[in-house]
Every structure is written in structure tokens, then in C-alpha cells.
Amino acid sequence: MDIQVDICEGNRDDNSSNVVKIPERLLQREQARLDDAERRKEAKESHSVANENSEFFTKAFNRDRAAIEELISICSGADRALATQTLDEATAKTQQLQKFLNDSMMFLAQYELRQAQASLQKLQTSLAEKRDEALPKKKFAFRSRTKATEQVCDTVPATQSGETVIDGHTPAESSIGKVEETVYSKQCGFSNMDDMVLTKTAGEINKNDVLLSHLTNCKVRLFGSPSTLHIKNVSGCEILCGPVSSSVFVDHCSNSTLALPCQQLRTHNTTSTQVYLHVTSRAIIEDCQGVSFAPFTWSYPTLDEDFVVSGLDRARNNWTQVDDFNWLALGTPSPNWTLISEEDRKTTWEI
Amino acid sequence: MGLLTILKKMKHKEREMRLLMLGLDNAGKTTILKKFNGEDISTISPTLGFNIKTLEHRGFKLNIWDVGGQKSLRSYWRNYFESTDGLVWVVDSADRLRLDDCKKELSSLLQEERLAGATLLVFANKQDLPGALSKEAIGEAMGLDDIKTHHWCIIGCSAVTGENLLSGVDWLLDDIAARVFTAD
Ligand SMILES: Nc1nc2c(ncn2[C@@H]2O[C@H](COP(=O)(O)OP(=O)(O)OP(=O)(O)O)[C@@H](O)[C@H]2O)c(=O)[nH]1
Ligand SMILES: [Mg+2]
């Protein structure tokens, strides 16, 4: 701020030829700049605090993890009392580590969070295995421990969306009538149908973006590879679709069965729906209940070719990995989705 | 030390920009970020939280924040507003049914005091899709012509093909640089 004063004095001295004249505008500009610079500096500092935090987290996390692994590895069944003590200590430390992760969630990037979750999962598994191996008759002891872990997790606030949707219509949708009309005339797909069997061929679909909307009790078969697929306001439908090269977006879907391969599955406001899924990145749900997942099993004569067209990796199917955006608590599984057990899966499909 | 020297010094120190990338879920924000940075885009999951990428471009250091757009995350957007030089608003040009939603979210962002100084770049993304609306149609749907508070520009692009990503970012940098890094 000293600078500012100097400049002002210099500026006032009209007779002095060796002082640069600085127009008012530039001065203001400079003041704004300095304020801005200050603002940036603060921001940078807080950014670096975030960095430091995450660095600190990673170091501390890895150190504790190594300590627990060490405990697990030195534990043997030779001395039962010692083994119990060691494993109890390892379990307690694991719980602390979980707590530490929960507390650090806010400043961790997604990648770090997943890494940490994965290593905790691994710790839990090897701890359980070791307990089985070293203390074969006391399995239940570990179970009671995991319960304690769950309680820790319960304290993490799970976000619950307070929005209620009435009659399957969001407020935004009602005011969009005009746009909606033009959509239906131009877009590849089906809209406003009841009790119909609807099919599209590979030729019709050919890398189009496909929209299915306002369908009730329909059987839809999409043979081909769409670029992307939107399913909106459907109920009681069975929708089977060839490989979708990017995302499938589902909104307001109920009592339906979907079968599809895709890169991402984004499910919203959906209830009582089964999804037979091949997903190469991840599936997510938001504001959903009673959504269940099984691996994709539908097949049709040109499926292989369509997989090639879509560019999807056939060997990579993450159908079991579902993120619930209303349930970000670590450790406790979301009550909003489940996996369909093998005996309950649909194995035959009518084309 | 004269004013000009100081200004010059500052210029060098501060060739750093903070860009905030927002938009509805599924718009293609993360895909844009990764494509721009030359990374694989086939394994991208819906963003649970945020990603930060720091990269050098044309001698600027860009800190790009990509925050998840799911409804349940939108209330957290404001945690990222501070010190934003450029706001990149990404629109899925083929998602006609949510244009209204998209406009509303953008309008409320533009009223944010902490984003008041930021330049706005709108990416009308997914232009490679046959059903995509043109950038003009998107601009109209977003009501861009009514924006008097921010410098803005709309660019049609595709994160999948990479088309126009560079020209969008270049426009943004030029606008910010003219505003922030030059004395006059
Ligand atoms: N065809 C096409 N698909 C795209 C384009 N950009 C993104 N996608 C696809 O759209 C889907 C969503 O992309 P993301 O980058 O995950 O979207 P996002 O905006 O980051 O979404 P959130 O993280 O939920 O906020 C993915 O399946 C992408 O492959 C594009 O330009 N063209
Ligand atoms: Mg994302």
C-alpha cells in the first residue's frame, strides 16, 4: 500500500517533469489490481492448504495402513491370547483409520477417496481372513467389530434430497411444453405410447441419440448402437437396447426392466426397476428406490457387431459398482439399490 | 521502484488463472477436461465430488476445477466460486428436455456476487450428435443476449472429437488476460 501513497504524491506534483503522470483511471485500475492480487494470494494460500491437507492425509493414511498390515502379518495362531490382542489392536486401528477417512472426506478428491476406500476394504478383508486363520472359533468376534465400524460410518451425514416429485413431473418440465413438441418430431425414438411393441433397427439407430419418453406397458427393442439414450417418464416397460457408446440417462422410470450396455448409466427418480447392465465406467443413482442390478444377458444376432461400433470394452463390466448420490456415507451400503441374486435373474428374453 | 516495473513483475507472477467448470450432470464437463488434457475419455465416471487439473497453456498456468453436476451436488457449487477468473458453463446440446433447468442454473450463477468478475464461456457440447441443437439455439435457450453483467461467448464443441475445445479455451484466456493481466 506504500506504493499507492508514493504514486499519489507524484501525481499531484504537476511541475515535476521526471514523475510519470498517472491518470485517475489507471490508479483505480491499479487499486483494483492490488485488491485482486490480495484476493488471489489468499485464494492461493487456501488452495495450498487444501493441497497440504490432502498430502498430509495421504501420508498419515499410508503410515497407519502400513502399521496395520504389519500387525496382521506378524499375527499367528501359535499363541492365542497374543493373536487376539494383536488382532483387536489391528481392528481398533482400522476403525480409527475409517474415522480419519470419514473426517477427511471434504477435502479429498474423488480419486484419493476411492483409493483410500479400496485400501480400507482390503484391510478389512485381510483382517477377517487372518482372524479366521489364527482364531478359527471366534469368528463372531470380528462381526461385532464390524458393527462398531458401521456405527462410526453412520455419523457421516448422508445427503437426502428434500425434493419431492409429484405425479412424476418435475417443476422444470411443465414449463417446457414448446421445446418438448419439437423434440418429438425430430428425434429418433418413441413417445406417448401405451401397450405397444416398439422396435428400431440398426439402420434407424445408427449412432443417433435416442429418446424414449412417456411410454406405459411397452416392450421396446433397440437393435443397434445409439450414441446416447434418454429414457424419461416410462412405467411398466421392458426396454432392451444394443450397446450405447456414451451415457444412458434414465429419469422417472418405474416398474420396468432395462437391459443395456453403455459407458455410463445415470439413473434418476426411478423406483422398482431392474437393470441388466454392462457398464464400462460406473452406474449412479439419484433420488431412486428399489433399483436392482444384474449383468447384461440379452442377446440378438448382430450384438457383436454393435459392440464393435459402440467402442465399448466388452471385457470390462462394472455392473456391481453403483454410486448413490443420496448416500455418500462410507462403509454403509445404500438402501436404495441391490444386486439381483443369481437365482432371481431373468435368463430368457423374448425378442 | 516505478509503477510500471511493479506492474510487470506482477504480470509474471500472476500468469495463473482459475477456471471453474460447471453445468448439469451428463453435460460432458469431465470429458472436456480430460480430452483437453489428452487423456483417455472412455473410463470417465459421473463425478462424485470434483476434479482439479493444473495445466500449462500458452504460458498460463490454468487451475481448472470440474465440479459434479448432479442435483444433489449443486448446492455445493458455491464452495468453489471464490477467485474464479473464468466460468465455463457446459451444455449437453442434445438434451432438449433439460434446457429449462440448464438456463435456470446458469441464471442463478450469474447473480452470484463472487462470480461477478468472471468471464463466461458457454460450451454447447456434443455437437457430434445428430440431434444436437446449434450453438445459436442453445444461446437463445440460455438467454445469453440478456446477459449484461459478464463478458460471454458461446462455442459449439464436441468433447468426443475434440472439435473447438481449444478455440473456446483460447477465447477465454484472451478475455481474462485482457481484463486481469494488462494495465490498460
Ligand atoms: N457424443 C458425445 N458424448 C459426449 C460428449 N461429451 C461427453 N459425452 C458423453 O456424455 C457422458 C457424460 O460425460 P461426463 O464428462 O461424465 O459429464 P459431466 O458433465 O462431467 O457429468 P457430471 O460429472 O455428472 O457432472 C459421457 O458418457 C460422455 O462420454 C460429446 O461431445 N459428444
Ligand atoms: Mg464429471
A20 touches chain B (CB under 8 A): yes
ipTM of the complex as predicted: 0.91
For residue A50, the model assigns a pLDDT of 60
Would an 8 Å CB–CB cutoff place A311 in contact with chain B? yes
Q: What domains can be seen in chain A, in order of their start residue?
A: 1-136 (1.20.58.1250), 139-181 (no CATH), 186-344 (2.160.20.70)
Query: Between chains, do B51 and A109 touch, taking CB under 8 Å as contact?
Result: yes
Find the mean pLDDT for residues A183-195.
79
Ligand of minimum distance to the alpha carbon of B51:
2
Three cell numbers, residue A25? 483511471
Q: Is B73 in the pocket of ligand 1 (CB under 6 A)?
A: no
Of B66, B71, B76, nearest in space to B30 by CA: B66
Could you list the beta-strand ranges (E) of chain B: 16-22, 50-57, 60-67, 86-92, 119-125, 152-156
Residue A276 has pLDDT above 50, yes or no: yes
Tell me the one-letter amino acid at B106. L
The rounded Å distance from CA B27 to ligand 2 centre is: 8
What is the per-residue pLDDT for A119? 86
- CA nearest A90: which of A113, A116, A120, A46? A120
pLDDT-wise least confident of A185-199, A239-253, A311-325, B1-15: B1-15
- Could you tell me if the CB of A263 is within 6 A of ligand 1? yes
Ranked by mean pLDDT, the top range of A55-59, A160-164, A346-350 is A346-350
CA distance B66 to B42: 17
Does pLDDT of B7 surpass 70? no
Lowest mean pLDDT among A48-57, A74-83, A199-208: A48-57
Answer yes or no: do A325 and B131 touch at CB < 8 A: no
Stated pTM of the model: 0.69
CA of B30 to the centre of ligand 1 (A): 7
User: Which pLDDT band, with edges at 50, 70 and 90, does A51 fall under?
Assistant: low
Grade residue A9 by pLDDT with cuts at 50, 70 and 90: very low
User: A97-101, B51-55, B143-147: which range is least confident on average?
Assistant: A97-101
Size of interface A-B (CB pairs under 8 A): 138
- Read off the pLDDT of residues A68-116 as tens digits, 9 standing for 90 and up: 998 888 888 788 888 888 888 888 888 888 777 766 766 777 777 778 8
> pLDDT value at position B10?
53
Q: Is the pLDDT of residue A26 over 70?
A: no
**Strand duo B50-57 + B60-67: pairing:** antiparallel
CA distance A13 to A21: 9
